[in-house]
Amino acid sequence: MRMRIEGGRALVGGALEEASVDLDCEGGIITGVGAQARAERAIDARGLLVLPGIVDVHGDAFERQMMPRPGVGFPIDVALLESDRQAVANGITTVFHGVTWSWEGGLRGAENARAILDGIERLRPRLGADTRYHLRHETYNLEAEAEIMTWLARRRIDAIAFNDHMSHTVDASSRAQRLLAQMAERSGATREGFLAVVERTKRRADEVPASIERLAAAANASGVPLLSHDDASPEQRRWFRALGCRLAEFPTTVETAEDAASHGDDIVLGAPNVVRGGSHTGWIDATEMIGRGLCSVLASDYYYPAPLLAAFALARRGTLPFGQAWALVSQTPANAVKLNDRGQIAPGRRADLIIVDPSADGQPPRVVAAIVAGRLVHLARADIIVGAR
């Protein structure tokens, strides 16, 4: 079946213009922009925007569907299906679930890491978004290395990030102590029991760098993108870069981000930071970083509506033209994780598109429809679907 989206303003070549977009729904690709081929179905996008779907390379909001309150769990299948509905309703057509496999245990332990991977693979035919597994590997979790190697060799995971939250457990700052309390709560252990696990785990600190190097080599061999999380210094960024890790997630200092940018690394920051007007942790301001050219990718982080809202906010505030702002949530994240078939509206690209009511008078933008690989997966206004033309 062929579909045409007509009457709206499409983001083509970085600018919004009046253009029809033709789709081959069976093949899942865009066949033409401004074409006039006959279609079995049409979408009337008058007054609306036609945009490339959002590519979200880092999001863990699905955890709140698994455990909405500490100690209150729900089945993984239910959590993944509900998270999928939230993602597509907010314009996310490619979603990387950031699954933390940590030495902590509990919500972020081995059992859940395996079960989420199995769940994603089992549910893919039922999911609206193209759903992928982003393994957030806690580097002190040395026992997991062999199994992760197997996952990489079999291409079961789509990205791997190197995290180190162990350092927070020995930091005396009030923020670190709050994080420690959260980690203990997630694990289901008492504070004393959790600290005992910390003590046992950190004794193997000397083994961590070599483990990272082995995992990075295996990921590179399998073509799996590498990310480093919370880089704290240019030296740390340079070390990860030497391992083939070209995505810096949430660098904690401006100097680290400057080093990343100067070497062509992608810099991932949180879209909630833009929407809220600052970091909830008190770290660098994403809007300021974007204005300085020190951010190339915005991710949902912990809130699925944020990428959509952030792009519009950046344009409204005059930080970036709309086309450049939207690229931060579509084209550049797609390219950063080697998904070069999406993120733009052009013939031959994957037909991942969203139809957005930009709204006005202080109202937020609203996703009216979402299309993934030519398949309509979300529809908030039935009146935009019209007959053959």
Q: How far is CA 83 from CA 78, 79, 123, 326, 362, in A?
A: 8, 6, 12, 22, 27
Closest CA to 352 of 119, 161, 87, 159: 87
Instruction: Write the DSSP symbol of residue 207.
Output: G
Question: Per DSSP, what are the bridge partners of residue 15?
Answer: 12
Q: What is the CA radius of gyration of the chain?
A: 21
Is pTM beyond 0.85? Reply is yes
The answer to whether 160 and 152 have CB atoms below 8 angstroms apart is yes
What are the strands of the beta sheet with 54-59, ordered from one edge? 54-59, 92-101, 130-138, 159-163, 226-229, 247-249, 266-270, 297-299
Per-residue pLDDT of the chain (389 residues; tens, 9 = 90+): 899 999 999 999 999 999 999 999 999 999 999 866 677 889 999 999 999 999 999 999 999 999 888 788 899 999 999 999 999 999 999 999 999 998 887 788 899 999 999 999 999 999 999 999 999 999 999 999 999 999 999 999 999 999 997 766 555 445 556 666 676 666 666 777 777 777 777 888 899 999 999 999 999 999 999 999 999 999 999 999 999 999 999 999 999 999 999 999 999 999 999 999 866 566 679 999 999 999 999 999 999 999 999 999 999 999 999 999 999 999 999 999 999 999 999 999 999 999 999 987 779 999 999 999 999 999 999 999 987 55
Alpha carbon distance 10, 225 (integer Å) = 30
C-alpha angle with apex 161: 206 to 352, nearest 5 degrees? 175
Domains of the chain, each with CATH number or no CATH: 2-51+345-386 (2.30.40.10), 53-336 (3.20.20.140)
| 18: exposed, middle or buried (Cβ count in 10 Å: 0-12, 13-18, 19+) | exposed
54-59/92-101 β-pairing: parallel
